Structure formats: structure tokens, C-alpha cells
Amino acid sequence: TNFNEKFDFVNDPETIVISFKESRIADMSGIEAVDGLTKKYADRNKKVILTHLSDDCRRLLEKASAVIQVNIYEDPHYKIPSDHI
């Protein structure tokens, strides 16, 4: 399933909360996907809130702040499991 196919821009509520508890934004293509999504909702006067972002995802979004603007709930800090033990 395409990322955007998971959302109903017309019928979703005024505030959309997207949990990244089991996923993450890893690169510019992820940022562009979230940015496109937030713009589609903004065109409908709806707000997108991202939750459960890892520290890596938060830093990536902060670095891309010139490209994307999102509302982020303050979550506990999550660590990404490493392949290196």
C-alpha cells in the first residue's frame, strides 16, 4: 500500500495523529512523503501531528525544517535497536 493511500484527506477528522511507533522517517523521500501529506491536509484546514518519533527522526525533521513544517507531540525518547550488539 502506498503511504498516501492510508489516508482519507476529505473524511479524516480536523486533527490527524500519525504514530511512528513501529516505523521511522529515514531519509529525504520520507520527509517529502510527510510534507506532501501535511500539505494535502493543510489545504483542507486540517492539522497533522506526528507522535512516537525516535531521536534520529526528530533530528532529521529539524534539519529539514526549511522544507517541512510539522506539529510534533512531545513523546518519551525512543531508541532504535541496533544491528550491532
| Integer Rg of the chain from CA | 13
pLDDT tens sequence for the chain (85 residues): 677 788 999 999 999 888 888 888 888 888 888 888 888 999 999 988 888 888 888 888 888 777 666 666 665 555 555 655 5
What cell numbers appear for 2 in the block? 502506498
CA–CA distance, 50 with 74 (Å, rounded to integer): 9
CA–CA distance, 57 with 24 (Å, rounded to integer): 6
pLDDT computed for residue 58 by the predictor:
83
pLDDT computed for residue 8 by the predictor:
93
Show Cβ contacts of residue 37 under 8 Å, excluding neighbours closer than 6 positions: 3, 4, 7, 18, 48
pLDDT computed for residue 84 by the predictor:
57
**What's the one-letter identity of residue 72?**
I
pLDDT computed for residue 74 by the predictor:
62
